[in-house]
Amino acid sequence: MAEPWDNRHPTRALSGGPATRGPAQRVTTPIVPSGSIAGRSLAAVVAIMTFLAALTTGAATMVVSAASDWQSDVGREVTIQVRPVAGRDIDADVRAAVATAQAGAGIADVRAYTKAESEALVEPWLGSGLALGELPIPRMIVVKTVAGATPDFAALRKALAAKVPSASLDDHRGWIDRMRTMAETAVVAGIAILVLVIAVTVLSVTFATRGAMATNRPIVEVLHYVGATDGFVASQFQRHFLILGFKGGAIGGGGALALFGILGAASAWFDRTPGGEAASALFGSSTVGASGYLAILGQIVLMAAVTALTSRRIVDETLKEID
Amino acid sequence: MIRFENVGLRYGLGPEVLRDLSFRIDSHSFQFLTGPSGAGKTSLLRMLFLSLKPTRGLVSMFNHDAATLSKDGRATLRRRIGIVFQDFRLLDHLTTYENVALPLRVLGKDEDDYRAEVVELLHWVGLGERINALPPVLSGGEKQRAAIARAVIARPQLLLADEPTGNVDPSLGQRLLRLFVELNKSGTSVVIATHDIALMDEYDARRLVLHDGRLHVYD
């Protein structure tokens, strides 16, 4: 029986020969089939983890931004309280305190509340219609500092104590310290959650990669038989996991970006209402800002990189076992 | 080209299954590796293919001491060896063309450079009409020829075939033997592991006979 190889020499076939080009489709199939990797579930895990990480980052960014705004506002204003003391003229004490404050370096403006204004300040707590003039209500002096300046409040406090013994200076340091602690706590909590999210992602990718390697072991063996190095084999798997990581990261991070975008738009609308202004002043802005959006975009890349690097490590470890 | 000196092999703490193997495989040579079932033919083939390390002795492959090769070094040497498995080991999700082209793809060659060569080789082994077929729809003989084509596409210096006629009828077995002879004529050294005496009688070639763990060479 005549064979196809009877009348031709293999060297001719292997040298390209008289190109008898058949209708072969070009190589398009990945060596490691995508279906053999738990792609959808892994992409879903990465998407959820990226979404959670992005929410955490966004929330931490908002807290830090709000705290920074508060600190900035509060830090630029200090108050001097002049208490009424028997035998002293409170109006003269107020004038002396104002003069002392104005003499300090880095002070932009000093304004003493009038007696009526000081009484109005306590009215919400004591109610109206009372004869407040008979009560020893302290007088407030608001001192605004020059932006960026760091006035010497210790010296001011000392000068006030010398000239107006009944005056006390409150630079809101306690509030600012508490605010800073709260913002730092939010950042630390955010980082801790991010670390946990990355740990869960690493574990998920580890299990998925081990499963994929076990499923594709026959393919790995054939690749070794045809002379593939471990690097080549690993790259075939890594490509899949990098794509999966990007896909999952983009879905999760994209969802978070959309959510913050909607929240920002809603916040902008709400800020224009009377209640919104008050809420904004109290809670700060509800937008994550450019740095927040950049951080979320960075997380998409981070999650894809974590997925690819983890899978590469597991593939390398598994390949060492397959000898 | 290949040299074994006093090679022994044992699995774990068991007895030596192969003992004091000393032989050479020269360039352009053709040999049958035979012996009863369980004699160690596949183990010897695996040593020849660098997928099994001997427990003692020297194995020299293409002037390299196999014992000192790194994993990547073994991979590089394997590119000079083609192997045909009894169970073909074709990848079911790749077409016949893609399976045969796999060693070239692994070498990082551009498809435009090897496409005509692969197609021509597939025509040469009689699979010109099955280029885009997936292995599950190929017959046993077609799979065998695809596996052979994959083994020779990168022009190996040594071709190893493990029971290449074990899954086919005698007629196809003879036809495949003629294919191996043609490949040998083109310059490839061939080692065919078989216990099919009728097949060996078809072609006068050197015989390496494994018996009781020892190798007897009949030139």
Report yes or no on A25 lying in a domain: no
Report yes or no on A20 lying in a domain: no
* Closest CB from B115, B155, B175 relative to A3: B175
Do B55 and B4 contact (CB within 8 A), yes or no?
A: no
Spell out which residues of chain B touch residue A217, defining contact as CB-CB under 8 Å.
none
CB contact under 8 A, A9 and B179: no
Q: What is the pLDDT of residue A3?
A: 59
Identify which of A36, A38, A26, A25 has the alpha carbon closest to the alpha carbon of residue A219.
A36
- Do A114 and A220 belong to one domain? no
Report yes or no on A237 lying in a domain: yes
Q: Minimal Cα distance from A14: which residue of B?
A: B117
- Do A270 and A192 belong to one domain? yes
For chain A, how many residues are written?
Answer: 323
Strand-pairing partners, residue A111, are A142
pLDDT tens track of chain A, all 323 residues? 555 655 555 555 555 544 444 455 666 788 888 776 666 788 888 899 899 988 888 888 888 887 777 777 777 788 999 888 888 888 888 999 899 888 888 888 889 888 888 878 877 777 777 776 677 888 889 988 887 777 888 888 888 888 888 888 888 778 788 888 888 888 898 889 889 988 988 888 888 888 888 888 889 999 999 999 999 999 888 888 888 888 889 999 999 999 988 888 887 787 777 666 666 665 566 677 788 888 889 988 988 888 889 988 988 888 888 76
Report yes or no on A24 lying in a domain: no
| Count of domains forming chain A | 2
A-contacting residues in B 40-99 (Cβ below 8 Å): 49, 51, 71-72, 75-76, 78-79, 83, 85, 89, 91, 93-95, 97-98
- Do A153 and A302 belong to one domain? no
B-contacting residues in A 254-273 (Cβ below 8 Å): none
Q: Is B192 on the interface with A (CB under 8 A)?
A: no
* Closest CB from B75, B101, B179 relative to A227: B75
Q: What is the pLDDT of residue A60?
A: 84
Do A18 and A220 contact (CB within 8 A), yes or no?
A: no
- Do A241 and A117 belong to one domain? no
Report yes or no on A17 lying in a domain: no
- Do A152 and A195 belong to one domain? no
- Do A275 and A228 belong to one domain? yes
The alpha carbon of residue B200 is apart from the nearest alpha carbon of chain A, in Å, by 19
Do B33 and B46 contact (CB within 8 A), yes or no?
A: no
- Do A224 and A93 belong to one domain? no
Do A250 and A307 contact (CB within 8 A), yes or no?
A: no
pLDDT (tens digit per residue) in B159-179: 999 988 877 778 777 877 888
- Do A43 and A116 belong to one domain? no
B-contacting residues in A 188-247 (Cβ below 8 Å): 218-219, 221-232
Q: Which of A137, A165, A193 is the last residue of a domain?
A: A165
Q: Is B105 on the interface with A (CB under 8 A)?
A: yes
- Do A184 and A276 belong to one domain? yes
Q: Is B176 on the interface with A (CB under 8 A)?
A: no
Q: How far is CA A121 from the centre of its chain?
A: 39
pLDDT beneath 70, residues of chain B: none
- Do A129 and A60 belong to one domain? no
Report yes or no on A98 lying in a domain: yes
CB contact under 8 A, B106 and A8: no
Q: What interface predicted TM-score (ipTM) does this complex get?
A: 0.88
Q: How far is CA A215 from the centre of its chain?
A: 38
- Do A307 and A244 belong to one domain? yes
Spell out which residues of chain B touch residue A232, defining contact as CB-CB under 8 Å.
106
Strand-pairing partners, residue A107, are A145
Q: Tell which of A20, A29, A226, A318 to mutate to test the B interface (max B CBs under 10 Å).
A: A226
Q: Tell which of A14, A29, A37 to mutate to test the B interface (max B CBs under 10 Å).
A: A14
- Do A149 and A254 belong to one domain? no
Range of the domain at A257: 34-71+177-322
Whole-prediction pTM: 0.70
CB contact under 8 A, A226 and B78: yes
How many whole angstroms separate alpha carbon B177 and alpha carbon B183? 10
Report yes or no on A7 lying in a domain: no
Q: Which of A165, A195, A212 is the last residue of a domain?
A: A165
Report yes or no on A222 lying in a domain: yes
Q: Which of A144, A165, A186 is the last residue of a domain?
A: A165
